[in-house]
Structure 1
Amino acid sequence: MTIAVFHTADIPMTLDVACHLNVVVADASPASLERALPALADLGIHRVVRPPLDPAATDTRAMREAFARSEVSPITIAGQAPGADVSSDDAEERAAGVAALRRALRLTADLGGDQMNGVPYGLFGPPGAPVPGSRVEEAARLVGEVADEAAALGIVMTFEVLNRYETSVVNTAEQAMRFAEASGSENLRIHLDTFHMAVEEADLEAAIRLALPRLAYLELGQSGRGPLSGGAVDIPQIVRRALDDGYRGRFGVEAFSRSVLAEPVADMLAIWRSPYDDGVELMRDALRVIRSGWAASTAGRREIRLARGAMV
């Protein structure tokens, strides 16, 4: 891939870019937030995806204040667990799964966030067998109910499309669109991640185009989980084509390194190597890559011309 080189000040950036907190630090402790948030804000990042947290064990006020001090908004992650799973064949487990999503939603509102990502449709981890279609449809309906509740609070609820090694429920953009329609909710939105798409999609650009009516979060992750400038995924081309096809939602950056993550989290995510050591530098590189794709897009080129004309 070819990446254009230019100074940040040369281009008025209008893209809304978020960073996963674990790119930079291992956890969401107060000390970690105090290290990560100001550094990311200095780069122009004003949205941070925080890892899943137990609402009952979270000091919501302290965390909200930490985000506010750095003028950074949190994006939360909701999920399911054994015994609390909307895709279960047990009614009590499905009800517990919905309750877990509602707790995560309340935490999102209490933190002042306006978006909740995650895997709300079932368990995260190597699936032993496909989830029957009837259970997928019921999971979609239940997730749709929570999405409507989120919308009433001014929160966008998305669900992430994962690869086959992490779920059997939703692996492709086409399946995601079917799941969203089955939810019965006009408010449920799709979260695509190029890392997972590189495993499952024959044509990443076509998949993004298919999901556009529901797409609210396009996460940029490389094939090796490291810097966006090196890997099998042509990130600038993905950004350029998405913008040219009409995508106007948020972009996210996700990368993981064993030298940054806590060991149990690295094990859970199968991060056995350290493709980088400095998450802030990785984000600086990521912004150059994203801006390169933006600058090649029709909207980016137009904005560059306008900005240069204004300086004459």
Structure 2
Amino acid sequence: MTAHASDIPMTLDVACHLNVVVADASPESLEQALPALVDLGIHRVVLPPLDPAATDTRSMRDAFAHWEVSPITIAGQAPGADVSSDDADERAAGVDALRQALRLTAELGGDQMNGVPYGLFGSPGAPVPRQRVEEAARLVGQVADEAADLGIAMTFEVLNRYETSVVNTAAQAMRFAEASGSENLRIHLDTFHMAVEESDLEGAIRLALPRLSYLELGQSGRGALSGGAVDIPQIVRQALDDGYRGRFGVEAFSRTVLAEPVADMLAIWRAPYDDGIELMRDALRVIRSGWAASTAGRREIRLARGAMV
């Protein structure tokens, strides 16, 4: 009997943002989400931003260990604690916030910390001066080196112009990473933001490859990967053919899943889906189609079929 490509296990490392499925990281939400994701073959989740002082790290770590799921945390900045500020005390507080998030990551047993560590998230209002961007990069680079010492990869996400003025494109991300002075600071690209800012998504991914560690797949409408303006299978196929071997992520948001304040903050006014597990099932089909069309995927499928003979 001939094995179909869909029967061959996909070898990509895929993470799911927890807010695709549930509104928060409470014990009840983890109990609902983790077993359902594991049933799909997902063993990595991106957590929403957490307050280190208010997080029950022991129970969360126990839940992740029980389900054999690895968490990815999100680090950020806030007014008064911002590495891009022109105030030295605020910059120092921003570095401290990143270090607290780093300690939380280690306590939860995670090996990756994503987020927006370089400045404030939200409507930027005005560009951050170049000197402040370069100082922010240097400070973020210091924390990235500390993360590496703990066995944690630190990435920074490239956002669209409506959410930051600091880093909007892959080219800017590469300049920021170089300005950090750290070989350990890695780039996180998201196709949702790239669809706003990049004229050539595949070329942007290729440009960032030397620093790219997390390629997040999000559709133009924040819903199912199979429907929207971004050709996700082609993105996956080309990234793999260009040599990308890092992690992939899936991100989608719906007003029926998110808590209302979070939905408001993210400008999620509609409900492009209601069932996050079904969305992830669809996402895995879409990602698999790109993997199966890539040179590496076709090779793995041929080898697996040969082993089944």
- Please give the TM-score of this superposition, normalised by the length of structure 1: 0.97
Aligned equivalent of 1:295: 292
- Counterparts of 1:20 and 1:62 in 2: how far apart (Å)? 19
1:55 aligns with 2:59: no
> One-letter code of the match for 2:231?
D
Shift of 1:10: 1.4
> One-letter code of the match for 2:69?
V
1:177 aligns with 2:162: no
Shift of 1:12: 2.4
Aligned equivalent of 2:102: 105
- Counterparts of 1:135 and 1:148 in 2: how far apart (Å)? 20
Confirm or deny: 8 A CA contact 1:259 1:274 kept in the other structure: yes
Q: 1:114 aligns with which of 107, 111, 116?
A: 111
Aligned equivalent of 2:277: 280
- Counterparts of 2:179 and 2:240 in 1: how far apart (Å)? 27
- Counterparts of 1:80 and 1:128 in 2: how far apart (Å)? 16
Aligned equivalent of 1:46: 43
- Counterparts of 1:309 and 1:149 in 2: how far apart (Å)? 45
Aligned equivalent of 1:247: 244
- Counterparts of 1:69 and 1:261 in 2: how far apart (Å)? 25
Post-superposition Cα deviations, 1:172-230, rounded to whole Å, max 9, x if no partner, equal: 00000000000000000000000000000000000000000000000000000000000
- Long gaps (5+) in structure 2: none
Confirm or deny: 8 A CA contact 1:17 1:253 kept in the other structure: yes
Within a 5 Å distance, the mapping from 1:192-203 to structure 2 comes to: 192-203=189-200
Q: 1:207 aligns with which of 179, 204, 212?
A: 204
> One-letter code of the match for 1:101?
L
Within a 5 Å distance, the mapping from 1:153-172 to structure 2 comes to: 153-172=150-169
- Long gaps (5+) in structure 1: 1-5
Confirm or deny: 8 A CA contact 1:225 1:275 kept in the other structure: yes
Within a 5 Å distance, the mapping from 1:119-130 to structure 2 comes to: 119-130=116-127
Shift of 1:74: 0.2
Aligned equivalent of 1:264: 261
Cα RMSD of the aligned pairs, angstroms, is 1.0
Shift of 1:7: 7.0
Confirm or deny: 8 A CA contact 2:5 2:301 kept in the other structure: no
1:227 aligns with 2:224: yes
Confirm or deny: 8 A CA contact 2:98 2:117 kept in the other structure: yes
- Counterparts of 1:209 and 1:65 in 2: how far apart (Å)? 38
**Number of corresponding residues:** 307
> One-letter code of the match for 1:256?
F
> 1:136 aligns to what SS in structure 2?
helix
Aligned equivalent of 1:137: 134
Q: 2:233 aligns with which of 232, 236, 241?
A: 236
Percentage identity across aligned positions? 90
Post-superposition Cα deviations, 1:220-244, rounded to whole Å, max 9, x if no partner, equal: 0000000000000000000000000
- Counterparts of 1:11 and 1:277 in 2: how far apart (Å)? 29
> One-letter code of the match for 1:255?
A
CA 1:262/1:8 → structure 2, altered by over 3 Å: closer, same or farther?
farther
> 1:306 aligns to what SS in structure 2?
helix
Shift of 1:311: 1.1
- Counterparts of 1:205 and 1:117 in 2: how far apart (Å)? 22
Confirm or deny: 8 A CA contact 2:5 2:292 kept in the other structure: no
Aligned equivalent of 1:64: 61
> One-letter code of the match for 2:279?
L
Confirm or deny: 8 A CA contact 1:12 1:303 kept in the other structure: no
- Counterparts of 2:300 and 2:190 in 1: how far apart (Å)? 27
- Counterparts of 1:212 and 1:12 in 2: how far apart (Å)? 25
Q: 1:306 aligns with which of 298, 303, 306?
A: 303
- Please give the TM-score of this superposition, normalised by the length of structure 2: 0.98
Confirm or deny: 8 A CA contact 2:111 2:152 kept in the other structure: yes
> One-letter code of the match for 1:93?
E
> 1:14 aligns to what SS in structure 2?
coil
> One-letter code of the match for 1:254?
E
